[in-house]
Chain A
Amino acid sequence: MDMQVAKKKLGLKERYAVMTRGLDWTPSYQKMEDIYPYIAYEGIKIHDWDKWEDPFRLTMDAYWKYQAEKERKLYAIIDAFNQNNGHLNVTDARYINTIKLFISGISPLEYVAHRGFAHAGRAFPGAGPRVACLMQSLDEIRHAQTQVHSISNYNKYYNGMHDFHHAHDRVWFLSVPKSFFDDAITAGPFEFMVSIGFSFEYVLTNLLFVPFVSGAAYNGDMGTMTFGFSAQSDEARHMTLGLEVIKFILEQDPANVPIVQRWIDKWTWRGYRVLTLVAMMMDYMLPKRTMSWKEAWEVYFEENGGALFKDLARYGIKMPKCAEQIALEKDHLSHQAWSTFYNYAAAANFHTWMPDEDEMAWLAAKYPASFDKHYRPRYEFWREQAAKGNRFYNKTLPMLCQTCQIPMIFTEPGDATKICYREVDYKGDKYHFCSDHCKEIFEHEPEKYVQAWLPVHQIYQGNCFPEGTDPTVEGFDPLAAVLQYYKLEHGRDNLDFDISEDKKNFAEWRGQATKNI
């Protein structure tokens, strides 16, 4: 047998390069601009795609191996949790409302991320970013599916999540997360990467995904906790990609800096407004709290984010200016949101309630500057009214912000007694905003934001009733018709937790599982 000449061993980096970049070539039968039509119009200049540093060097064989191992474990735990009636081990049935919020508000976004990263991966001419984006696209469909699979068992026993896809496209408050992702995926591929890859995955993930998963861990929900922990290493990869994207774009051309700064400003604010839902979840919906919204913001944004923006300063990137206003709102955000959902409990797919005495004490301790002064009195009043049989359900519709689509519930920065209103005239119509930042986002791209499908406008225009509804008949009940359009069952999916079927069933089933009755 011939002597084999010892081959040059490739280093990890070299080997990864022949496994990815080496596959690419410069086409000559079709023009680059026809193959990659979406990369010029945002004004981002990339001179050398090869300068891209691969944030992680994962070939497909290794990817399949690691991910399959994780899937095996995850589904084994989900099966055990289901078989063992794990849902009865959660702290109390109120907790399940966070799952309703998650499956109808967040899981559908994982799916959009899957499609969005496929689009971005296809759009970029560089092999490095394409592989990273497509791997994330694949991970995101994993997250969407593992969430649906984990939560499927809750849906069998509890109300409000039985038609979550349908709800996500229609229910009024779900247009807040939906419009956020619609905004990102309809932007150009570079802005998509900054919005989702950087602002959402890197800057805000610890304030969105983590509170839900930690909340699950604190409240005995092993099903949700497990998919969260299983997604952790994927998320770490996505965060690395988000940071690499931003550094790459900024290093390519100084003209990119102001464009990217504007995107960071916009998406930090857009993301923060979506986090309103998380803030109230943390402070009100978890029977066993992990930390307050205010503490989470201080740790994950002010401290960690502060360090990040210090690091990005060398590229000329500054801390988003909205951070100042967010700091002013952190004593109020969750309370204003929960008050609103308490009001609109007849029109939502989850239950609300008034915090009990212990919980009020916790809130007062966590929010010494605001809770006792502004929010406790109104809660006590509502509680009294409810005790007298006057539980208040607001049946009129609120004005929505044209950009973030949240009802105009927020107060002026620094004055918790005055609602903040802003408006803009554009082509003969008046548009309303909850804040200076939402107004600025609109003013920069009015032609985009005038398209928004605002749930309240749509209801008033008669677009949110079942087909064939005649709103002019005597005794027409608009709320009932809207609930039918949402496919929500009045008295079962909505209203106060105290009178809910969930509460009743949970108590009965827990008794059945733990007592000899």
Chain B
Amino acid sequence: MQIDLRTVTIKPLRQTFDNIARRIGADKPASRYQEGTLDMQQTANFHYRPTWDPEHDIYDASRTAIKMADWYAFKDPRQFYYGAYTLARAKQQDTAEANFDFVENRGLAGTLPESVRKTVLELLLPLRHVAWGSNMNNASVCAYSYGTGFSQPHIYQAMDQLGIAQYLTRVGLLLGDVESLDEAKRAWMDDDAWQGLRRYVEDSFVIKDPVELFVAQNVALDGLLYPLVYETIIDDVLSSQGGTPVAMLTQFMTDWFTETRKWADATVKIAAAESPENKEVMARWLSQWRDRSAAALLPVARIALGDRSDEVLGEVVQQFNARMAKAGVAL
């Protein structure tokens, strides 16, 4: 049975703003993602050149080698504007909080086999710094890329990575203490196992092309790191050794990667589908940064996987290649 509540209906003069109507048609209302994203960035009649980059306009599509007829071809399949983004993260945060409580209140950290605890501290804690590096890189892409369709997800990604660095810190404080964090930082600075990855991250800091930086950080590095560390080592290998509580503490990262890779894939696909030139550039960046990323992650994988590292990493790279092929870039 339906009840019929009556409201006074006034016929609107228009359904949405003209810039949106020009893109989607004037006869339908726009979504909040569309109104909050399309043409948000200024495009014309800038008054001054940046004193910090006089070669470019404030927003300048020529900062990247990727060329787009319309930068609003980039759409976030998650349709994240600020409201949708924060609501999604708050929900995940509720789960994460419940998981931390569960592990803490039942003293599950104390039930971890010592070998698992040691591996987790050695493997996960230096990744705080990798996440922090990603925070900085994504801020960079947000600041210097062109068009809100492309730039907007990067501020979300930047803050997500800060959140991940903070979750990892909490894991460290739960399974270890402040000294564990210090020890992990020392390893990050000095131990051979981490130097390839640290070099990768520091080299990414000086990439000037925002789309290349997106590839190096969000596609090539995260695209191998998350499947390797969170999906394989923690969820499979360590769980089978009694490390399930750790998988609870890192559920945020696993879920987050499943979600964000959809956006990363869509972005790669749109850039590559635009032109053969773009596709060539994307393929070059992807294979170059994938190879560096795989090489940097191998010694890290050894911390948990020992002899199996080559084999497991090889599988992760295979999956990555399949992902990219699906996004239209055969590597």
Contact = CB atoms under 8 A, between A and B. Distances in A.
A137 interface: yes
B49 interface: yes
B277 interface: no
A422 interface: no
Interface string B161-180: 01101110100010001100
B52 to A, nearest CB: 4
A61 B164 CA distance: 10
Interface stretch (B198-206, B220-228, B257-265, B308-316): B198-206
B46 A453 contact: yes
A170 B44 contact: yes
Interface string B96-137: 110000000001001100000000000000001101100110
B302 to A, nearest CB: 21
B57 to A, nearest CB: 9
Nearest to A161: B17
Contacts of A1: 107, 110-111
> Which one of B81, B128, B160 has the greatest number of beta carbons of chain A within 10 Å?
B81
Contact of A156 (B12, B110, B132): B12
A325 interface: no
Interface stretch (B82-90, B232-240, B286-294, B320-328): B82-90
Nearest to A36: B205
A451 B48 contact: yes
Given A71-B86, A145-B36, A162-B17, A169 B159 contact: no
B48 A162 contact: no
Contact of B139 (A118, A141, A189): A118
A452 B178 contact: no
Given A71-B82, A169-B45, A152 B155 contact: no
B155 A35 contact: no
Contacts of A122: 136, 139-140, 143
Contacts of B214: none
B40 A142 contact: no
* Size bracket of the A interface: 35 or more
Contact of A41 (B32, B49, B52, B163): B52
A417 B143 CA distance: 47
B185 A155 contact: no
Interface string A313-357: 000000000000000000000000000000000000000000000
A115 interface: yes
A184 to B, nearest CB: 10
Contact of A7 (B10, B13, B139, B177): B177
Nearest to B144: A119
Contact of A85 (B8, B13, B131, B189): B8
Nearest to A61: B93
A72 interface: yes
A157 B13 CA distance: 5
B136 to A, nearest CB: 6
A112 B198 CA distance: 33
B6 interface: no
Given A112-B42, A138-B82, A188-B51, A61 B166 contact: yes
A453 B280 CA distance: 38
Interface stretch (A24-32, A195-203, A247-255): A24-32
A295 interface: no
Interface string B149-164: 0011001101110110
A84 B143 contact: no
A156 B8 contact: no
B59 interface: yes
Contacts of B93: 61, 64-65
B16 A137 contact: no
B261 to A, nearest CB: 20
Contact of B48 (A114, A166, A452): A452
B292 to A, nearest CB: 13
A311 interface: no
B94 to A, nearest CB: 8
Contact of B155 (A114, A159, A165, A452): A114
A179 to B, nearest CB: 4
Contact of A60 (B36, B40, B163, B178): B163
Contacts of B274: none
A158 B47 CA distance: 30
B17 A152 contact: yes
Nearest to B164: A60
Interface in A128-170: 130-131, 134-135, 137-138, 141-142, 144-146, 148-149, 152, 155-159, 161-166, 168-170
Contacts of B17: 148, 152, 155, 161-165
Contacts of A164: 17
B202 A185 contact: no
> Which one of A23, A138, A487 has the greatest number of beta carbons of chain B within 10 Å?
A23
B13 A159 contact: yes
Nearest to A147: B36
A8 B155 contact: no
Interface in A21-70: 22-25, 27-30, 34-35, 37-38, 41, 59-61, 63-65, 67-69
Contact of A19 (B10, B19, B107, B166): B166
Given A1-B107, A29-B202, A163-B17, A18 B181 contact: yes
B7 interface: yes
B105 to A, nearest CB: 12
Contact of B49 (A141, A144, A159, A451): A451
In the A-B complex, the 10 residue pairs with the smallest Cβ-Cβ separation, listed nearest first, are A68-B90, A60-B163, A156-B12, A145-B36, A23-B132, A119-B143, A118-B143, A29-B202, A163-B18, A182-B47
16 contacts: A4-B107, A18-B178, A23-B132, A25-B188, A30-B205, A34-B206, A60-B89, A60-B163, A65-B90, A68-B86, A122-B139, A135-B159, A162-B14, A169-B42, A175-B47, A178-B47
Interface of B: 7-8, 10, 12-19, 30, 32, 35-36, 39-52, 58-59, 81-83, 86-87, 89-91, 93, 96-97, 107, 110-111, 128-129, 131-132, 135-136, 139-140, 142-144, 148, 151-152, 155-156, 158-160, 162-163, 165-167, 169, 173, 177-178, 181, 185, 188-189, 198-199, 202-203, 205-206
Interface of A: 1-2, 4, 7-8, 10, 14, 18-19, 22-25, 27-30, 34-35, 37-38, 41, 59-61, 63-65, 67-69, 71-72, 74-75, 83-85, 108, 111-112, 114-115, 118-119, 121-123, 127, 130-131, 134-135, 137-138, 141-142, 144-146, 148-149, 152, 155-159, 161-166, 168-170, 175, 178-179, 182-183, 185-189, 448-449, 451-453, 458, 487, 505, 509, 512-513
